[in-house]
Amino acid sequence: MPVTATAAGRVLAVLDAFGPSHAALTLSEISRRSGLSLTTTHRLVGELRAWGALERSPDGRYGIGLRLLELGALAPHGLQLREVAVPYVDDLHQATRANVVVGVRDGSDVVYVEALRARTAVKLMSRIGGRWPLHVTGTGLVLLAYASPEVQEEVLSGPLERFTPQTVTDPAVLRRTLAEVRRTGVGIAENQLTAEAPALAVAVPVRGAGDEVVAALGVTVERGTVQAQALIPALNATARGISRALGAPSAQPPRRRT
């Protein structure tokens, strides 16, 4: 529900009207989805367009403008992390030819800041800026397993959205899964997100300068084509490279004894 009581809230409500399934909207669709009058919508869309947050396509519909991509790219835990990770991720993608993603936690969601997909990938669930609940993806499970107890309890106590018949929605089962992720350092999700293509997602943590988990690195393959265990060494090696580049103490090369 957009909070349209304030001026800022109304501006943000216009932006909130847009989403992956609603990337191009007419003025009246924006008005309806934002809960704002057509007059107010018209005025705000005009201002947002002049600034570059929205753009108008030849068919008269509005979409997100490049100014927001430019600004969104400045998110410190977003594309700035991507800049460090991209050569490592690229190598992993070449080696595995799988979908590779880097995700960071935003509240109770994972947001992908990098996504390289296999050319054969049936369905595109992973793209930069993609957002999913933590409990349904490999990267999300890793981020949740290493989050603070407060974050974990909040997710475990909230409703766990179901995406497929296999999605884990029982808090007790999820709690055991998280303990397993912490024990093994690996998050595994099978058929949690889409029923259309049987998928296996495997993810490991990426650590920052304070050795805290700042991101998760994951690959997704068609289920049955590769064993999860076979993907872990390459994932760990790549995650270690990114962690080292981020300054993680535990990922630094051991000091030579004299």
Question: How far apart, in whole angstroms, are the C-alpha atoms of residue 2 and residue 12?
Answer: 8
Residue 234 CB, nearest approach to a second copy (Å): 17
Binding status of residue 48 toward a second copy by CB under 8 A:
yes
Instruction: Return the range that interacts with a second copy (CB under 8 A); candidates 16-24, 143-151, 157-165, 188-196.
Output: 16-24
Binding status of residue 147 toward a second copy by CB under 8 A:
no
Residue 6 CB, nearest approach to a second copy (Å): 6
User: Amino acid identity of 126?
Assistant: S
- CB-count exposure of residue 90 (10 Å: 0-12, 13-18, 19+): middle
Binding status of residue 19 toward a second copy by CB under 8 A:
yes
Binding status of residue 47 toward a second copy by CB under 8 A:
yes
Question: How far apart, in whole angstroms, are the C-alpha atoms of residue 106 and residue 246?
Answer: 19
Question: How far apart, in whole angstroms, are the C-alpha atoms of residue 245 and residue 253?
Answer: 11
Written as six digits, the tokens of 177 are: 């899964």
Binding status of residue 230 toward a second copy by CB under 8 A:
no
Nearer to a second copy by Cβ, of 74 and 172: the residue is: 74
Binding status of residue 52 toward a second copy by CB under 8 A:
yes
Residue 48 CB, nearest approach to a second copy (Å): 7
Taking CA atoms, 204 is separated from 159, 224, 231, 232, 249, in Å, by 25, 20, 10, 8, 17
Nearer to a second copy by Cβ, of 63 and 179: the residue is: 63
DSSP bridge pairs for 190:
200
Residue 171 CB, nearest approach to a second copy (Å): 25
* Phi, psi dihedrals of residue 187, rounded to the nearest 5°: -105, 130
Residue among 26, 28, 38, 87 that touches a second copy (CB under 8 A): 87
Residue among 38, 66, 195, 230 that touches a second copy (CB under 8 A): 66
DSSP bridge pairs for 109:
106, 133
Binding status of residue 7 toward a second copy by CB under 8 A:
yes
Residue among 1, 60, 76, 256 that touches a second copy (CB under 8 A): 76
* Phi, psi dihedrals of residue 48, rounded to the nearest 5°: -65, -35
Binding status of residue 224 toward a second copy by CB under 8 A:
no
Binding status of residue 245 toward a second copy by CB under 8 A:
no
Binding status of residue 131 toward a second copy by CB under 8 A:
yes
Binding residues for a second copy (CB under 8 A)? 6-12, 15, 18-20, 23-24, 43-44, 47-48, 51-53, 55, 57, 63-80, 82-83, 86-87, 90, 93-94, 104, 106, 111, 113, 116-117, 119, 124, 127-131
